[in-house]
C-alpha cells in the first residue's frame, strides 16, 4: 500500500506541467480526457473499461462525501475484479489511470497529497477482497500441507502395514502349502488304510467262507463216518450180547453198559455235528434248522424261547441264511452265558426288500458303547455278528436298556449289494 501511495505522489509531480485544471472542469470533460489518456497509454478490454468506469464513479463519490457506503462499494468492486479473473496489478493500473484523471491540476502539492491519501484509502478497501482471498488461500495451503503431512504419515503406516500383511501372506501361503502337502500325505495314508481295510474284510469274508465249508465237512464226517462207525460198534455189541448165554450175566451187563456209553457218545457226536453245521439248514432250510436249535437250546438251558418265522426267509441265498443262523446261535449263546434271562424270543418277518430278524431277552443289560471298546469275548461275539451281517450286505442294531434286557435287530436284503435299508 505504501508503494502504491508513493507511486500516486510521483504521478502527481509528473503531471504538474499539464495545462488542465480540476476547478471549473465538468465531469463529462474530465471523463473524455481521462479515457483519451488511457486509450493513448495502454489498451484495455471491455471488462477493464466497465470496471474503470465504476471505479472512477465510486472514487469520485468517496472523495466528495467520505462516507462508508462508498468504501463498501470499493470492497464490492474488489470482489468483482476477482470474479472477472483480474488481479492486483490490474486493479493498480485501473487505480493509476483513474487517479490521473481525478487529481486536481491547479492546486498545490498539499491538496494533491490529500487527494492521493483518500484515493489510497479507497484503493486499500478495494484490495481487501484480494487480501481475504490470499489469506484464504494461505489457510487452505496450510490445511492442505497438514493434510499432505497426515497423508504422508498415513502412507508410511500403510506401507508398514502392507509389509506386515505381505509377510503374513507369505507365512500363510507357506502354512497352506504345508497343509496341502500334509493333506496329500494323509490322503495317501487314508487310501492305504482303506485298501488295507478292504483287504482285511475280503480276508475275513474268505476266512468265514472257508470256516463254514470246513465246518460243513467236519460235521458231515462226524455224522457220516464217525456216526456210522459208532453205530457199527453198537450193532456188534448187540450181536455179541445176544450170543452170550444167560449164565454169563456179568459179561452181559458190561456189554449193556458199553452200549449205553456208546449211545451217549453217538448223541454227543451228533450234537457236535449239529453245532458245527446243521445238515437240516442245507437240506430243509433256515426255519426248520432254527426251530430245532431253539428247541434244543431251551431244553439245555431252561430258558423259554418263543420262535416265530415267516416262510419268505427261504428266498434268501444260502450264505445269507447261514448268517442269520449264526447270528441267532451267537446271540442265544450270549443270553445263556451273560444275560441270565428267563424268557426270550426269536422273530423273523419280511420287510420291504428284505428280511428282519429280532432276538430279544429279559435278562441283564449292558452299555453297548462300552462293550464295543472292551476286549472281552463278548465284544468278539458282537464284532463277529456285525462282520457276518456286513458281508451279507445287511445291517445290525444292538439295543440294551436296564430293566428291558437286550434286543438285536438284523436286516438282510433279498439281493446282495443292497446296503441301505428301505
The DSSP code sequence of 299-346 is HHH--EEEEEE-GGGGGS-HHHHHHHHHHHHHHHHHIIIII--SEEEE
Q: Report, as an integer, the average pLDDT of 43-56.
A: 76
pLDDT for 37 equals 41
pLDDT band at 71 (very low <50, low <70, confident <90, very high): confident
Say which range, 41-45, 313-317, 342-346, has the weakest mean pLDDT: 41-45
Residue 297 has pLDDT above 80, yes or no: yes
pLDDT tens string 356-366? 999 988 888 77
pLDDT band at 160 (very low <50, low <70, confident <90, very high): very high
pLDDT for 320 equals 86
The rounded Cα 242 to chain-centroid distance in angstroms is: 92
For the ranges 3-12, 123-132, 301-310, the maximum mean pLDDT occurs at 301-310
pLDDT for 308 equals 92
Q: Report, as an integer, the average pLDDT of 229-256.
A: 74
Residue ranges of domains in the chain, CATH in brackets: 2-148 (no CATH), 279-413 (3.30.565.10)
Sign of CA dihedral 88, 91, 96, 97: positive
pLDDT tens string 369-420? 665 545 555 555 777 888 888 888 889 988 887 777 888 999 989 875 544 4
Total-model pTM: 0.49
Cell of 309: 418265522
Residue 125 has pLDDT above 50, yes or no: yes
pLDDT for 53 equals 85
pLDDT for 72 equals 85
Cβ(327)–Cβ(388) below 8 Å: yes
C-alpha span between 302 and 234 (Å, rounded):
31
Cell of 247: 449164565
pLDDT for 159 equals 92
pLDDT for 162 equals 92
Residue 309 has pLDDT above 50, yes or no: yes
pLDDT for 267 equals 74
List alpha helices for 351-413, DSSP H. 368-373, 377-391
Strand ranges inside 162-254, DSSP E: none
Bigger pLDDT: 159 or 49?
Answer: 159
Find residue 397's DSSP bridge partners. 409
Helix (H) or strand (E) holding 409: strand 405-413
pLDDT for 26 equals 40
For the ranges 83-87, 132-136, 166-170, 210-214, the maximum mean pLDDT occurs at 166-170
Task: Say if residue 279 is exposed, middle or buried (CB neighbours under 10 Å; 0-12, 13-18, 19+).
Answer: middle
Residue 169 has pLDDT above 90, yes or no: yes
pLDDT for 55 equals 85
pLDDT band at 368 (very low <50, low <70, confident <90, very high): low
pLDDT tens string 257-296? 787 887 778 777 767 666 666 777 778 888 998 898 888 8
C-alpha span between 172 and 68 (Å, rounded):
75
First to last CA, the chain: 106
pLDDT for 274 equals 66
Q: Report, as an integer, the average pLDDT of 198-205.
A: 72
Cell of 7: 507511486
Longest dimension (CA), the chain: 199
Bigger pLDDT: 80 or 112?
Answer: 80
**Among 274, 283, 4, 258, CA closest to 126:** 4
Cell of 324: 442269520
Q: Report, as an integer, the average pLDDT of 211-228.
A: 67
Q: Report, as an integer, the average pLDDT of 3-19.
A: 40
Question: What Å distances lie between residue 19 and 16, 98, 104, 105, 244, CA to CA?
Answer: 8, 18, 11, 8, 194
Residue 328 has pLDDT above 60, yes or no: yes
Sheet holding 405-413, edge to edge: 304-309, 343-351, 354-361, 405-413, 395-401
Amino acid at each position: 500500500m505504501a508503494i502504491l501511495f508513493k507511486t500516486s505522489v510521483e504521478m502527481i509531480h509528473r503531471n504538474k506541467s499539464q495545462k488542465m485544471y480540476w476547478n471549473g472542469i465538468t465531469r463529462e470533460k474530465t471523463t473524455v480526457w481521462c479515457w483519451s489518456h488511457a486509450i493513448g497509454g495502454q489498451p484495455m478490454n471491455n471488462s477493464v473499461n466497465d470496471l474503470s468506469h465504476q471505479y472512477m464513479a465510486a472514487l469520485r463519490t468517496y472523495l466528495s462525501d467520505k462516507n462508508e457506503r462508498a468504501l463498501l462499494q470499493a470492497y464490492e468492486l474488489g470482489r468483482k475484479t476477482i470474479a472477472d479473473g483480474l488481479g492486483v496489478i490490474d486493479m493498480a493500473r485501473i487505480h493509476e489511470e483513474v487517479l490521473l484523471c481525478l487529481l486536481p491540476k491547479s492546486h498545490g502539492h498539499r491538496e494533491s497529497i490529500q487527494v492521493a491519501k483518500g484515493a489510497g484509502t479507497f484503493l486499500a478497501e478495494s484490495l481487501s477482497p484480494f487480501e481475504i482471498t490470499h489469506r484464504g488461500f494461505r489457510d487452505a495451503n496450510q490445511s492442505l500441507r497438514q493434510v499432505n503431512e497426515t497423508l504422508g504419515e498415513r502412507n508410511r503406516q500403510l506401507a508398514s502395514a502392507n509389509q506386515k500383511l505381505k509377510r503374513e501372506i507369505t507365512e500363510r501361503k507357506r502354512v497352506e502349502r504345508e497343509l496341502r502337502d500334509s493333506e496329500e500325505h494323509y490322503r495317501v495314508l487314508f487310501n492305504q488304510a482303506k485298501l488295507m481295510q478292504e483287504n482285511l474284510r475280503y480276508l475275513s469274508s474268505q476266512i468265514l467262507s472257508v470256516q463254514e465249508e470246513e465246518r460243513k465237512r467236519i460235521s458231515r464226517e462226524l455224522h457220516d463216518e464217525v456216526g456210522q462207525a459208532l453205530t457199527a460198534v453198537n450193532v456188534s455189541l448187540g450181536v455179541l450180547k445176544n450170543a452170550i448165554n444167560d449164565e454169563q450175566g456179568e459179561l452181559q451187563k458190561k456189554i449193556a453198559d458199553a452200549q449205553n456209553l456208546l449211545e451217549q457218545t453217538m448223541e454227543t457226536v451228533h450234537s457236535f455235528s449239529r453245532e458245527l453245521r446243521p445238515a437240516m439248514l442245507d437240506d430243509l432250510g433256515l426255519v426248520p434248522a432254527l426251530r430245532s436249535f431253539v428247541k434244543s437250546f431251551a431244553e439245555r438251558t431252561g430258558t423259554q424261547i418263543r420262535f416265530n418265522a415267516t416262510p419268505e426267509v427261504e428266498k434268501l441265498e444260502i450264505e445269507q441264511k447261514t448268517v442269520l443262523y449264526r447270528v441267532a446261535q451267537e446271540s442265544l449263546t450270549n443270553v445263556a452265558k451273560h444275560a441270565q434271562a428267563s424268557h426270550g424270543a426269536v422273530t423273523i418277518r419280511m420287510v420291504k426288500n428284505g428280511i428282519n430278524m429280532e432276538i430279544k431277552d429279559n435278562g441283564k443289560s449292558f452299555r453297548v458303547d462300552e462293550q464295543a471298546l472292551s476286549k472281552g469275548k463278548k465284544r468278539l461275539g458282537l464284532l463277529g455278528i456285525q462282520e457276518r451281517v456286513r458281508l451279507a450286505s445287511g445291517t445290525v442294531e444292538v439295543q440294551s436298556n436296564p430293566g428291558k434286557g437286550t434286543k438285536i435287530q438284523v436286516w438282510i436284503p433279498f439281493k446282495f449289494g443292497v446296503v441301505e435299508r428301505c
